[in-house]
Amino acid sequence: MENICTAQILLCSPPARHHLLSINSLLAHVGIIPTFWMERDGQLKKGLVLPEMKEALTLLQNWYKDGLIDHDFPIMEDKQKNEKITNSLVGLFEGDVYYTEKGSNPTALALSNVNPGAEVVMLEAPLGPDGKWGYQEVNAVSAAPFRSLSAHAQDPKKLFQFLDWMANDDGGFNLVLYGIEDKDFTYDRASNTIDQITPYADLYKRGYSNPIRMIYITDRRYAKPPVREAIEIVNQHLIVNELWNTLPAENDYPDLETKLWKEYFVKIVTGVWPVDKYDVFIQKYYQQGGAEIEKQANELWKELKN
């Protein structure tokens, strides 16, 4: 097999916890992320209701008609996506930085096994006609799991002493996370890189590797050079979400993004509906709760700014 993938873009349905199809780096070329709050003329609006979204839908629909977008994307699960990547059936897909290093991602490893000369690289975000580009920023707070402590704990000070020890390089951070040095991992201090020797499953059995995630710290020493390079590429320009807070109205109208928007997005991109049908989506979005969501967002945003 040659080290060439077909020039096809893979848009895929990510796990249910995500609201939208995994296409944000493409949409950022018009300067928006659909689920982000974007500031326009002193007001916040969701990216999916901005005029630029219609421009992006027009482009995606044309790409779909030209065969540049995988036609299975509306129903594709992770397993199918990974199989297409492994078998070099796509040339471009949206994924995290760990795809760039086979030891850090099972799909990248499977691709390497099938095609030893294959290479996955992180590209700079596409540059739009108006010079807009970027990757979406990540909400670091929501990405980390929350832990609570009982109000009836007999000696909470000891627990916090233990957590401090776990989170400290001079304490137990390496031991808890990676095991015993030179047995379970090696640490190259010159390059500030950690290489894991013992599989995590085996570490879990011995009580290492922070199995219950009492602490949540991203350790870049574990990232191999390709992953670090990918991180630098992503961080060149980030599209910012102006408001991360969850609003009461979003809980009252949970289907606007997960069902209504997804339906219109898929049917417009695949050509079932014309791009002008997007105008109907805008009307329904505001009529079915979007107006209240936007109102609450702006009230909270202004309150937080003061």
Q: What is the pLDDT along the chain (306 residues), one digit of tens a residue?
A: 233 344 455 554 333 333 334 678 788 889 899 999 999 999 999 999 999 999 999 999 999 999 888 888 888 888 888 898 898 888 888 888 989 988 778 888 899 999 998 889 999 988 888 888 889 888 766 666 667 788 888 899 998 998 899 888 888 899 988 999 999 999 999 988 899 898 877 888 888 876 666 777 778 888 888 999 999 999 998 999 999 999 999 999 999 999 999 999 999 999 999 999 999 999 999 999 999 999 999 999 999 988
Q: What is the pTM of this model?
A: 0.79
Burial category of 270 from C-beta neighbours within 10 Å (exposed 0-12, middle 13-18, buried 19 and up):
middle
**Cross-strand partners of 37:** 46
Tell me, what's the pLDDT at 59?
92
3-state secondary structure 52-107: HHHHHHHHHHHHHHCCCECCCHHHCCHHHHHHHHHCCCCCEECCCHHHHCHHHCHH
User: What residues have CB less than 8 Å from 283, skipping those under 6 apart?
Assistant: none
